[in-house]
Structure 1
Amino acid sequence: MNAPAGTFAPWQQRIYAQACAALDAGRLGHALLFAGPAQLGKRDVAVRMAQRLLCEQRHEDGEPCGQCRGCHLFAAGTHPDYQFISFIPNKEGTRLRTEIIIEQVRELSQRLSLTPQYGGAQVVIIDPAEAINHAASNALLKTLEEPVSGRYLWLVTAHPARLSATIRSRCQKLEFRLPPQDESLSWLRSRGHADAAAREALDAARGHPGLAHEWLQGTGLAVRREVAGDLAKLARGEIAVAETAQRWSADEDLELRLRHAADLALAEAGRLTDPVRASSLAAWFDQANRVRDLLRTTVRADLAVVELLLAWRGAGAAGGSTGGTRG
C-alpha cells in the first residue's frame, strides 16, 4: 500500500495514469467505483490517488512529494482529510464485523460535510464496498446524491453486482480487467518466479496474475496438485472418502481445496465430448461451491465434505484424469 507508482504492476499503472489525467483535468466525478477481480491492486491505486490529492507540494508530474506535512500525515495514517473505511470490531470487541454498518456511513457523511482541515480535498475510501449493508446503502445514497466540490468518495469492490443498482449509477467506474497473458507472465517473472512455475500457476488461476502470485508465494499451487491427485484417486477407489474429507478439513486450507476442486471439475467438463459426463461434472462444480458457502455457517464442514466427495466417487466422473493442474 502507498507504494510509489513506479512499482505498480503494468495494469495498475495504466488505470492510475488515466484516472489521474482525468482527475487533473476535472473530468473525474466525486464518486468512483474501483471494480474488478480481487488481488489486482484496486485499493493500492485508490490510496495512491488519495495521497496525490492530499499532497501539498506535488512534483511537476503531479506525483506526491512524500515530504510535505500532508504526505507525512498520510503515511502515518493520521491525515484529517482522509478516511479509510472497512470492517470494524463488533460491540463486544471480540471479532471484526462482516458488514459495513450505517454508523460508519453516517460518520463519513458528516465528515464530508465539513470544510477540509487543510483547505484542499477530502477523500473517503470504502473497501470492500459490497459489504455495505442495506441500511448503510440507503444512507450512502444521500451522500452520493449531494456531491460537494473537493469531496471524494471512492468505493473498492471485487463484486460490483452486489452493490445496489442505484449506488452503481451514481459512481463513475474504473474497471480493472485481467491483463494479457504475456504481460502477466512478465510480471510474475519480475517477482522472482521461474517461467515454468509462473505459466503453471497462471494457467491454474485462469489468467489472474495476482492470484497466481499468491499461490506461488505460498502453498496454493501445491494444494491444487494435492487436490487433483486426491480426486483422481477417489474416482478410482484408491483412497477412502471419510479419510480424505478429514484430511481436507484438518487445516485452514479447506476453502482453497474446495475452490481448486470445483475449478478442476469445471476444467475437466470443458474438455469432455460426452454431454452426460460433462453435465455431471458441472453439477458437482455447483455442489462444491455450495459447500464453500456452507463454511461460513455452523454446519460441520467435515460432514459436508464427506457428502461432496461421495458424490464425486459415486459419479466416477474424473476417470483419473484430473491429475494435472490445468484449468
Structure 2
Amino acid sequence: MSNTFSPWQQRAYDQTVAALDAGRLGHGLLICGPAGLGKREVALALAGHVLGRGDEAAARRSQQLIAAGTHPDLQLVSFIPNKSGDKLRTEIVIEQVREISQKLALTPQYGAAQVVVVDPADAINRAACNALLKTLEEPAPGRYLWLISSDPARLPATIRSRCQRLEFKLPPRAEAMAWLLAQGHAEAAAAEGLDAARGHPGLAARWLRDDGLTLRKQVASDLEQVASGRLGAVELAQRWAADEHADLRLRHAADLALAQASSSGLTEPSRLHKLAAWFDAANRTRDLLRTTVRPDLAMVELLMAWSAANERQPKGNLR
C-alpha cells in the first residue's frame, strides 16, 4: 500500500481489505465516486494485497511487479489506440472485454488469484457491456473483476447489480483543508481552490498546481465579454478549442453558471431557468468533446446562448 494515501483513500483501502480478508468480497467490485479522489491508486494497492498473499517475499514481489506494470496476474484495461494508431479510442470495446474473459480463464502464474481492473468502466460500450455481463455471471474462485467509474449511472443496471460497491465520497471540509495544507499549499489558496472545486480536494490540488484557478478567472472574464457583446461566440469558441484545456474551460463555465444561479441575489425565475438549462447544455457539450465533433463547432451554439441567459447580468457578477 502507498504511504502517500489521503485519509479518504486510506479508509476505502482499510474497509475493502477487511472485506477481502473476511471473505465478504465477491467477484465483481464497482469502485465509484467523483474523478480525482484516487480510486485507481486504491485499486492497485488492493490488487497488491490480493496478489501478494502468502508470505513477505510474495508480497514484495507483487508490489514490485505491479509498480513496474509487469505482474502477469494483473490486467489493466483502459483506452487503446484506434485502427489508424494516431489517437486513443473513446470507448472500451468488445475485443477488450473478450480478452478479460480469456485472462480470467487462465491459471494464475503466481499464487491463486487474478485481478482485472477496468478504468474507466463507464466508457464500456453497449456490445462490450453485454459480453462483460457473462463474465460477471460466471465467477471463478480467486478471480476479481474491478470496475472503476466516476459516473456509474452510465453502466447498465444489470452490470451494477452484479457488483459490490466501494464508494468514494468527498471528505469533510476540515479534512480536505488539512490535506491540502499538508501538500504545501497556503491556507488562503487552499480555501480558494476548495471553494472553486466545490469541496473536491483532488480537483483543488490539481488546479492549484497547474494554474487551473487562473484559467477559471479567464473563463469568467470571457463569459462576461460574451454577455456584454464585446466578444463574439465564434471567436471565443475557436480560442477555447485551440488547446487541450477545452474540457476544463467548459467545466469552469458550467460551475460559474451554477454559482450564478445559486446566488442569493438572483430571484428572477426566468433567468434561473435559463442558467440551469445552460449548465446542463455545458455538460452535454463536454460529452460531445469526447466524440469526433469539432470542439469549436460544439461550443459555438453554447456560447451564443450565454448572452440570452444573462440579458440582465450586471457587469462583474461572475467571479
Q: TM (normalized to structure 1)?
A: 0.88
Greater displacement, 313-322 / 261-270: 313-322
Give ranges in structure 2 of 5+ residues lacking alignment. Answer: none
Residue matched to 2:224? 232
Please report how far the alpha carbon of residue 320 of structure 1 lies from its aligned counterpart in structure 2 after TM superposition.
2.0
Of residues 30, 38, 42, the one that matches 1:41 is 38
**Is contact 2:90–2:291 with CA below 8 Å preserved after alignment?**
no
Residue matched to 1:322? 317
Mapped partners of 1:168, 1:49: distance in 2? 20
2:6 equivalent to 1:6: no
Change in 2 beyond 3 A, CA 1:194/1:66: farther
1:159-238 superposed matches below 5 A? 159-238=151-230
Of residues 282, 287, 291, the one that matches 2:285 is 291
**Is contact 1:130–1:159 with CA below 8 Å preserved after alignment?**
yes
Greater displacement, 92-101 / 214-223: 92-101
Greater displacement, 217-226 / 99-108: 99-108
**Is contact 1:231–1:322 with CA below 8 Å preserved after alignment?**
no
Change in 2 beyond 3 A, CA 1:264/1:58: farther
Residue matched to 2:81? 89
**Is contact 1:229–1:322 with CA below 8 Å preserved after alignment?**
no
Change in 2 beyond 3 A, CA 1:240/1:77: closer
Count of aligned pairs between the two proteins: 316
**Is contact 1:228–1:322 with CA below 8 Å preserved after alignment?**
no
Residue matched to 1:251? 243
Of residues 56, 67, 72, the one that matches 1:75 is 67
CA RMSD in angstroms comes to: 2.2
Change in 2 beyond 3 A, CA 1:194/1:22: same
Which secondary structure does the structure 1 equivalent of 2:60 belong to? coil
Mapped partners of 2:233, 2:103: distance in 1? 56
Give ranges in structure 1 of 5+ residues lacking alignment. Answer: none
Mapped partners of 2:4, 2:18: distance in 1? 19
Please report how far the alpha carbon of residue 150 of structure 1 lies from its aligned counterpart in structure 2 after TM superposition.
1.0
Residue matched to 1:19? 16
Change in 2 beyond 3 A, CA 1:252/1:318: farther
Which secondary structure does the structure 2 equivalent of 1:15 belong to? helix
Mapped partners of 2:316, 2:58: distance in 1? 56
**Is contact 1:35–1:159 with CA below 8 Å preserved after alignment?**
yes
